[in-house]
Amino acid sequence: MARIGVVGAGYVGLTTAACFARLGHTVVCADVDEAKVSALSRAEVGAHEPRLAELVADGLASGRLRFVLGNRPALSGVDFVFVCVPTPTGPDGEADLSFVHAVLEEAREEVGPDCVIVIKSTVPAGTTERVAAVVDQPVVSNPEFLREGHAVDDFLRPQRVVVGAPGPRDGGARDAAVRVAELYEGTGAPAIVTDSASAEMVKYASNCFLAMRLSYVNSLAELCERVGADISDVTEGMSLDDRIGSAFLEPGPGWGGSCFPKDTSALLSTADAVGVDFSLLRATIGTNRRQAERVVGLVRDAVGPLRGARLALLGLTFKAGTDDLRDSPALAVAELLAAEGAVLTGFDPCVARDCGPVRVTGSAEAAAEAADGVVVLTEWPEFAELDWSDLAAAMPGRVIVDTRNLLPADKVAEAGFR
């Protein structure tokens, strides 16, 4: 078993630290956020990730996991350092690597000569190669494929482990990459050891392909509405072709979260920087940007002029199963509706505070009180179980715009809604 340092205790770093401890390694997890470090040391986990709090508590109890303040204590006395700090979108759409570079600067001084530095943060192809040129210790790329709401499962039962080493195929970094792949042996997943640019590209290529698939199905849904086809039956028909499959074929208010918007923008920025016209990716992003306006158009067509219209938004997070509001399409729609003068209430099982222009209530019924219309924006399963006759009694309006095709249309119609 290995001694592992993890820098950054966010969704990615905390999951990495807790799961490596679960796999039997000894882990020290660092963060610069003092409140976060003290909460985690008491096994108080903020993220809404199933099983994560339990794994953190187990790790603390077994002594295999501990949390420290500041990056440095996770950089010495360890065999591997996993860099899990943010790579947000920069001003021109490129990936901002300032946090990664700052950690690597510290690592150069603190990390032992045999320690392997592992970049787990999502970084543009070529980053590890460039970093390896200025850092003496071996540096490898090991991208994460964690979905929010499924992070622990995706780490402990990954579909693949990808590790990339800069430089020649028989170089020292390649041995380091093999050692990193061995850390995941407890998961039983297939491992790909390749060069670092390819490893970095797998992450962007996968996320951008999924985003492209969603922009395709969102445009297809718009076309189906115009020609009188039913998108649910169309996607079911598509999914029976095992080359297409059924995942990621649900139309919605657009794709969001802390990864797709950042990764599509960063890959397009990389393509532009090297003179490749990745028009399919540009169109994927453009289609997604227009999706919020398309939803507002549907609402306006359904309830009439938006100025003064009272609308109840069901779902505010970027998808069901998480509390994450980062780049949530629901909030993009809310901002546009409010800009046209709509008065917004909202309910989301994982959101307790008011969000932007939305006055957040404690239940769907409370949000729908006195509303002219309801807009379903996040696919929380409980919304499909609501008592629509109760809602009809509380609402003057009889309009529902379901951007996730979640609700039982017959029951909703029986309660008098359109």
Q: Return the active site residues.
A: 259
Q: Does 403 bind ligand UDX (CB under 6 A)?
A: no
Residue selected from 23, 25, 28, 121 as contacting ligand UDX according to rule CB under 6 A: 121
Binding mask 189-228 for ligand UDX (x = CB under 6 A): ------------------x--x---x--------------
Question: 206: Cβ–Cβ under 8 A, 6 or more apart, which residues?
Answer: 145
Closer CB to ligand UDX, residue 25 or residue 36? 36
Binding mask 293-332 for ligand UDX (x = CB under 6 A): -------------------------xx-------------
Q: Whole-number minimum distance, CB 266 to ligand UDX, in Å?
A: 10
Other beta carbons less than 10 A from residue 276's beta carbon: 11
Q: Does 145 bind ligand UDX (CB under 6 A)?
A: yes
| Size of the residue set binding ligand UDX (CB under 6 A) | 42
Residue 393, classified by CB atoms within 10 Å of its CB into exposed (0-12), middle (13-18) or buried (19+), is exposed
Q: Whole-number minimum distance, CB 99 to ligand UDX, in Å?
A: 4
Q: Whole-number minimum distance, CB 49 to ligand UDX, in Å?
A: 10
Whole-angstrom distance, CA of residue 66 vs CA of residue 38:
11
Block residue for tokens 């009272």: 310
Q: Does 235 bind ligand UDX (CB under 6 A)?
A: no
Chain length of the chain: 418
Strands 80-83 and 3-7: parallel
Task: Considering only CA atoms, give the Rg of the chain.
Answer: 23
Q: Does 96 bind ligand UDX (CB under 6 A)?
A: no
Q: Does 250 bind ligand UDX (CB under 6 A)?
A: yes
Of 3-11, 53-61, 270-278, 384-392: span binding ligand UDX (CB under 6 A): 3-11
Closer CB to ligand UDX, residue 234 or residue 394? 234
Q: Tokens in use for 134? A: 């200025």
Q: Is 405 left (phi over 0), alpha (psi -120 to 50) or beta?
A: left
Q: Whole-number minimum distance, CB 100 to ligand UDX, in Å?
A: 8
Q: Which residues bind ligand UDX (CB under 6 A)?
A: 7-13, 30-33, 36, 71, 84-87, 99, 102-103, 121-122, 144-148, 207, 210, 214, 248-250, 252, 255-260, 318-319
